[in-house]
Amino acid sequence: MYSSRPAPWTAPVLYGAVLTAGWYAAASGLGDGELPLFTVGLALLVGIDAAECRRYPARTPLRPALALLCVRAALFTLVAATDGSGLSRALFVLLPFTAYFAFGRAAACAIAVGCLGLAVLTTPRWYADPERVSDLLMFAVGLVLTVTMAGVAVDERRLRARLEESREEVALLSAAAERNRVARDIHDGLGHHLTAVVVQLEKASAFRELDPAAADRAVGDARRSARQALADVRTSVGALRAEPFRLRPALDELIAGHEDVTLRVAGEEGGYGTSALTALYRAAQEGITNARRHAAATRIEVTVVLDRAQARLTVSDDGRGFAHRAEGFGLRGMRERVEAAGGRLDIDSGRGDGTRLTVTLPQRAAA
């Protein structure tokens, strides 16, 4: 669920620690807490995180990120107010942490300073109590470490994106080098064979009257050279005609002549790499094949939406459906291919209810 977002384990670990401390405090009679509201607040936080990661696998846009930040701040306040252990204040370090990914370093630092100031203002006579001073210092250290960890995570994601771009550039350069090599092969190989053909035909013409057997051998040699030249040309031209993979033409060719399949494609595929587009194509291919072979579907719909945040492919049919435990080798292979490209595969199916297969792939994060 969290695989495409930086440091996905941070929030769940902190939620678990706060939940454990709160329940322990309630069981031990420590503090004045309201366990039901405390538990519901943490459950809502987990649900919000899961919904956000599902809707925005790579990065949350600015407006939704701001709204979610405010909702989290309100829930953190609720959990802290109903927690008998007093540990819930640590949840506020997640505000600058999440803000770093959406708004950048300056906003995260400003929010961290605001959280520390709020903690100071809501701690009465903190300066007269060494324990409270220690708590505030630890909270400040936690804010600094959190912002630092967010910066490291962003830098790592940026480096990974650059590495992926470098890999694609290397692939393009390798392809160009291979095309140049094939062009040289055509020039050198074809020129050699055509020269041999000309020489042998001239020899046959010269010896036709004097030595018919030698003329026949020359014609045979010319024929063999011509066949070899044709084979070389076919091999070289086949390599030269290889083009970068394009999803829309491939899908059009896939459904050509099949009236039971409808295709809708929206958006541009320019921001997606070959591996991602190939994964989408293979998923559509497998989905259509399964719908025809196993589900006895009469209507299949393939929808592709490509935007700046993510690519979403949906293959739905009106077939007989299947139980999820019945996933075969093809679906398992599809899931592995999609996850290898950094995406997620979801299947919604039941006996007699048709099947809806959804593949979501995040666009490569901008450097």
User: How does pLDDT run across 221-235, given as a tens digit for each residue?
Assistant: 778 777 767 766 665
pLDDT tens-digit profile of 259-271?
788 999 999 888 8
Which of 122, 152, 187 delimits the end of a domain?
122
Nearest alpha carbon to residue 191 among 250, 233, 152, 130: 233
**Pair 285, 336 in one domain:** yes
In a domain, 181, yes or no: yes
- CB neighbour list of residue 120: distance below 8 Å, 6 or more residues apart: 126, 136
pLDDT tens-digit profile of 32-48?
778 889 999 999 999 99
**Pair 177, 101 in one domain:** no
Instruction: Report the CATH number at residue 349.
Output: 3.30.565.10
In a domain, 162, yes or no: no
Nearest alpha carbon to residue 83 among 142, 28, 18: 18
Residue with the bigger pLDDT between 160 and 111: it is: 111
Which of 179, 211, 240 delimits the end of a domain?
240
**Cα–Cα dist 155/149, whole Å:** 10
Average pLDDT score over residue span 290-318: 87
Give the total residue count for the chain: 367
- Asked if pLDDT for residue 340 goes beyond 50, the answer is yes
The pLDDT of residue 71: 94
**Pair 195, 290 in one domain:** no
Average pLDDT score over residue span 276-291: 84
- Asked if pLDDT for residue 195 goes beyond 70, the answer is no
pTM, whole model, 2 decimals? 0.49
**Pair 88, 36 in one domain:** yes
**Pair 230, 258 in one domain:** no
Domain span at residue 212?
A: 171-240
**Pair 19, 114 in one domain:** yes
**Pair 37, 102 in one domain:** yes
User: pLDDT-based confidence at 31, cuts 50/70/90?
Assistant: confident
What are the residue ranges of helices labelled H in 104-244?
105-121, 130-185, 191-207, 212-240
Task: Kindly report the average pLDDT of the chain as a whole number.
Answer: 82
DSSP 346: E
**Pair 251, 304 in one domain:** yes
The pLDDT of residue 2: 35
**Number of domains making up the chain:** 3
**Pair 88, 186 in one domain:** no
In a domain, 75, yes or no: yes
Which of 221, 240, 259 delimits the end of a domain?
240
**Cα–Cα dist 306/270, whole Å:** 9
Rounded to 5 degrees, φ, ψ at 260 are: -85, 0
CB 60 within 8 A of CB 114: no
Stretch (H or E) spanning 262: strand 261-267
User: pLDDT-based confidence at 1, cuts 50/70/90?
Assistant: very low
In a domain, 166, yes or no: no
Stretch (H or E) spanning 21: helix 10-28
User: pLDDT-based confidence at 185, cuts 50/70/90?
Assistant: low
Q: Scanning the structure block, which residue is given the tokens 């044709």?
A: 230
Mark residue 301 as left, alpha or beta (left: phi above 0; alpha: psi -120 to 50; beta: remaining): beta
Angle at 264 between CA 357 and CA 311, to 5 degrees: 60
**Pair 302, 322 in one domain:** yes
Instruction: Report the CATH number at residue 184.
Output: 1.20.5
- Asked if pLDDT for residue 344 goes beyond 60, the answer is yes
In a domain, 129, yes or no: no
Give the Å distances, CA to CA, from 21 to 25, 86, 243, 254, 349: 6, 9, 59, 56, 40
**Pair 208, 297 in one domain:** no
In a domain, 350, yes or no: yes
In a domain, 83, yes or no: yes
In a domain, 265, yes or no: yes
User: pLDDT-based confidence at 214, cuts 50/70/90?
Assistant: confident
**Pair 321, 337 in one domain:** yes
**Cα–Cα dist 319/357, whole Å:** 13
The pLDDT of residue 216: 84
